[in-house]
């Protein structure tokens, strides 16, 4: 479900729980409890992620755009790490919340720079894909048990779909 749909279903009593991020999570917690967080899952070796997706055609035609996009994301991680206060001030309008709430929301995330994302624990490298491919496959296996999808490709299909070369900045 999209966060707004999840919140509406929660408020209407149509669901008993959900896995979502702030600010929607903050609204759900007003009359509920947090059972587990992404940080808890990460400590147990379970990956969750905010994923950027591009088509093969886009990747082929616009590698420069992707490199610039990754560079900007990497700079944002650096900005957050060097000054959480400045980062929260920059995000408050985007999230439509107070600076204090933006800081709290941002502190709930695990901020990885490009080098960390290129590790075995996450995306890996073009020559050696990381654990994220298996996390995607495991998610697909779960979705299949829920009848949300009909088939699950082999692990190689997920590894082939991951393009960590853009994490390697010149």
pLDDT (tens digit per residue) in 43-89: 888 888 888 899 999 999 999 999 999 999 999 999 999 999 999 99
pLDDT of 47 reads 85
pLDDT (tens digit per residue) in 10-53: 999 999 999 998 889 989 999 999 999 888 888 888 888 888 89
Q: Is the pLDDT of residue 91 over 80?
A: yes
Q: Is the pLDDT of residue 130 over 80?
A: yes
Q: Is the pLDDT of residue 169 over 80?
A: no
Contacts 24+ apart (CB under 8 A), 109-117: 109/21, 109/38, 110/38, 110/39, 110/42, 111/77, 111/80, 111/81, 112/77, 113/74, 113/77, 113/78, 114/70, 114/73, 114/74, 114/167, 114/168, 114/169, 115/167, 117/164, 117/167
């Amino acid at each position: 479900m999209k966060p707004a749909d999840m919140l509406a279903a929660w408020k209407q009593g149509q669901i008993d729980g959900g896995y979502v991020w702030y600010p929607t999570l903050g609204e759900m917690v007003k009359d509920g409890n947090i059972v587990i967080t992404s940080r808890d899952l990460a400590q147990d070796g379970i990956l969750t992620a905010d994923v950027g997706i591009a088509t093969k055609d886009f990747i082929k035609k616009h590698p420069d755009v992707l490199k610039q996009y990754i560079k900007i994301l990497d700079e944002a991680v650096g900005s957050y790490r060097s000054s959480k206060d400045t980062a929260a001030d920059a995000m408050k309008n985007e999230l439509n919340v107070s600076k204090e709430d933006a800081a709290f929301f941002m502190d709930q995330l695990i901020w990885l720079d490009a080098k960390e994302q290129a590790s075995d624990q996450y995306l890996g490298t073009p020559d050696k894909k990381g654990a994220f491919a298996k996390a995607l496959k495991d998610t697909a296996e779960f979705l299949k048990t829920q009848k949300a999808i009909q088939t699950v490709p082999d692990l190689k299909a997920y590894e082939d779909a991951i393009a960590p070369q853009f994490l390697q900045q010149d």
